[in-house]
Amino acid sequence: MSLSLAIQDFLQASAEIPVIDVRSPGEFLRGHIPGAHNIPLFNNEERALVGTKYKQVGKEEAVLLGLEIVGPKMASFVREAKAISKNGKVLVHCWRGGMRSGSFAWLLNTSGLQAITLKQGYKAYRRHVLKSFASPYTLIVLGGETGSGKTEILASLKERGEQVIDLEALAHHKGSAFGALGQQPQPGVEEFENILYTELRGMDTNRRIWVEDESKSIGRVFIPPDFWQQMKQAMMFRIALPKEARVERLLKEYGCFSTTDLEASVLRIQKRLGGLATRQCQDALKAGDLKTVAEITLTYYDKAYTHHKEDIASCQRILLDKDNPQEAASLILEQMKTSS
């Protein structure tokens, strides 16, 4: 019988031993333990067939069908697992820690590997992930209007030894209607939660953690509610940078994209911009006047951001006369010292 570990011990072991997820590709794509290797016992269609057989006929017939499907694949399963293994060991899990992972582990153990399964499977991992966001973190939020250079300021803080989580990088989205430009496809909500948990798990919870100010959603993913509530209650440093400097930053960041892509982004917020402002942006894009587009859209985003921050109690402003993320990071850390 295979050794089986509870979630905490399983995750600790995963620092040294590779993880094999035997769920279907569709399940894996929806969300998985970051770094896990997918060796599906059944593909998406096969899993559906076995599930239908179980519901319509019963467990015994479903098991027989599963064996017929898996039989020809057994040798390839072992070869793949051996190629992934480290010192002859692998960690294996399925959805509930039942028949799929148990059968796979039996096969690998029979073939000379040591396969260790996860008690209650990926379901236990997801419970653990969601519960973790309610754990207390010492968060400090970096805020500021669009174009303030918050991402670069966070990077500068990280270079100085601060703990930083770049939520937008994890989400593959910069948060605005233009935020998907130049980004990889976004992860699903479940996968984003898994990635965020992994980042937090690597942090020292006795030290402060910096995050950028965000709304509940970043593109199509959502910040876990418990974590977002902690962000709302955290100390904030709000960058105040002149609009002219922010316009110049936006021109550098988005000026490389096509008129078609920029217009599509403008149209995503046309109801909020209003008909006149939208037409002005479209006319400016056709004329190659990206500065006007940036000025118009910033007017909208500045109003939205001010409204979003009305309920922030603990907020310290960092006044800048020019766009200099390194200087901003220095000012923030100096202010931290004087206020502590």
Q: What is the pLDDT of residues 128-137, one digit of tens each?
A: 999 999 999 9
User: Same domain for 187 and 259?
Assistant: yes
3-state SS string over 65-117?
A: HHHHHHHHHHHHHHHHHHHHCECCEEEEECCCCCHHHHHHHHHHHHCCCEEEE
Give the whole-angstrom CA distance, residue 297 versus residue 281: 8
Task: Give the confidence band of 122 by pLDDT, cuts at 50, 70, 90.
Answer: very high
pLDDT at 303: 84
Question: How far, in Å, CA of 49 to CA of 90, rounded?
Answer: 28
pLDDT average, residue stretch 218-224: 96
Separation of alpha carbons 78 and 13, rounded Å:
21
Asked if residue 311 has pLDDT above 60, the reply is no
Q: Which two tokens stand for residue 130?
A: 């969601």
Residue 259 sits in the same domain as residue 114: no
What mean pLDDT is reported for the chain?
93
Backbone φ and ψ of 35, nearest 5°: 95, -10
User: Other CB atoms closer than 10 Å to residue 221's CB: what's the count?
Assistant: 22
Tokens of 280: 């002005």
Single residue among 130, 160, 180 that ends a domain in this structure:
130
Q: Do 120 and 161 reside in the same domain of the chain?
A: no
Among 130, 153, 176, the domain boundary falls at 130
How many structural domains does the chain have?
2
Active-site residue, from 94, 256, 281, 315? 94
In a shared domain, residues 257 and 172: yes
- The Cα–Cα gap between 249 and 271 comes to 25
Same domain, 194 and 86: no
Q: Is residue 70 over pLDDT 90?
A: no
Closest to 100 in 3D by CA, of 56, 141, 58, 51:
51
- The mean pLDDT value for 330-338 works out to 90
**For 20-43, what is each residue's pLDDT tens digit?**
999 999 999 999 999 999 999 999
309 pLDDT tier (thresholds 50, 70, 90): low
Statement: residue 340 has pLDDT above 80: no
pLDDT band at 46; cut points 50, 70, 90: confident
Residue ending a domain, among 110, 130, 150, is 130
* Domain span holding position 33: 3-130
The predicted structure's pLDDT at residue 300: 87
pLDDT of residue 307: 58
> Any catalytic annotation for residue 281?
no
Name the one residue in this structure whose structure tokens are 């028949």: 99
Residue 160 is classified by DSSP as T
Q: How much is the pLDDT for 308?
A: 57
Segment 283-304 shows an average pLDDT of 92
CATH code (residue 72): 3.40.250.10
Whether residues 181 and 303 share a domain: the answer is yes
The answer to whether residue 330 scores a pLDDT higher than 90 is: yes
Could you tell me if 316 and 267 lie in one domain? yes
Are residues 14 and 109 both part of a single domain? yes
Which of these ranges, 212-221, 280-289, 313-322, has the smallest mean pLDDT? 313-322
Tell me the torsion sign for CA atoms 80, 81, 86, 88. Answer: negative
User: By the 8 A CB rule, do 212 and 151 touch?
Assistant: yes
- Give the pLDDT band (50/70/90) at residue 114: very high
* Co-location of 121 and 148 in the same domain: no
Least confident of 29-43, 48-62, 197-211: 48-62
Between residues 66 and 271, which one has the greater pLDDT? 271
Residue 278 and residue 99: Cα distance in Å, rounded? 56
Percentage of residues in the chain having pLDDT higher than 90: 80
Closest CA to 63 of 103, 115, 121, 123: 103
